[in-house]
Structures are given as C-alpha cells and as structure tokens.
Amino acid sequence: MWRRRQSTKFNGTAYIVQRGAEAVYSLDGQKQIRKVIDYYMGNAKIIKAGLESLGLTTYGGVNAPYIWTKTPNRLTSWEFFDLLLNKVQVVGTPGEGFGQAGEGFFRFTAFGNRENTLEAISRMKKMLEFY
C-alpha cells in the first residue's frame, strides 16, 4: 500500500507545479502575466527607439524582448561589446556567439528594470554620438 501511495503521489508533475500552472490560467494569473509582458516589452520599445535615434539599424523588440542592432562603423560584435563595456559600462551579447551569421550584430535584452534601461540608453547616446 505504501509503495502504491508513493508511486501515485510522486509519479508525475509535482503538486506545487500543478498549483502554479493552475494559478497561471486563473484570471488573476493572466492579469499578472500581461503586466510583466507589457513591462518588458516597454523596455524593448525604449531600447529600440534609443538605438534608432542613434542611427543604428535595429531588428526585433516588437514581439520579443530582444533587440538586435547592426554594429556601427564596421566594428566586429566583440569590438562593439568592448566599446560599450569599457566606455559606458553597458553590457549586451556579441552576435558572434550565435554563429557566423551573427558577426557584425549585437543583441540587447529588455529583461532589466526600467531605470537601468533608461540609464543604459542615455549612456550609449552620450558615447555613440561622438563615435
């Protein structure tokens, strides 16, 4: 009987995961999810608009919280990474890490808080307008 109880209780999705899934599909859960998505997509809009105001070509940031940009002045993705890190302390992901086709591109993520997102764009504007 004990073995049957244990097999039934622990053979499948954990109880806490089931309750979490149940919460996600509730009305309150759906409202919370929408709020989080809207927050990060708002960050994506800020990043995309900020990069475009610098004359950079951007991709994404509309249906996903990742914004890709073509690196300026024929910089490699790692050169752009170093420039941002060392000059303005902004971090992103060099495109080369995504394979050969990613070289010459750079990826930013909107998964930060709003204050840091605005600060990062402000720093990049100050630096890149002279570059």
Tracing tokens 């504007």 back to the chain, one arrives at 125
What does the block give as tokens for 89?
A: 């302390």
pLDDT value at position 131? Answer: 57
pLDDT in tens, 1-46: 888 777 776 677 878 988 999 999 999 999 999 999 999 999 999 9
Gap between the Cα atoms of 98 and 105, Å rounded? 10
Percent of residues, the chain, with pLDDT higher than 90 = 81
Q: Where are the domains of the chain?
A: 15-128
What's the CATH class of domain 15-128? alpha beta
H runs (alpha helix) in 11-98: 15-24, 27-53, 77-88
Q: At what angle do helices 27-53 and 15-24 cross, to 10 degrees?
A: 70
The pLDDT score that the predictor gives to residue 13 is 80
Task: Please enumerate in sequence order all residues whose Cβ is within 8 A of that of 84, keeping only pairs 6 or more positions apart, or say none.
Answer: 90, 91, 92, 124, 127
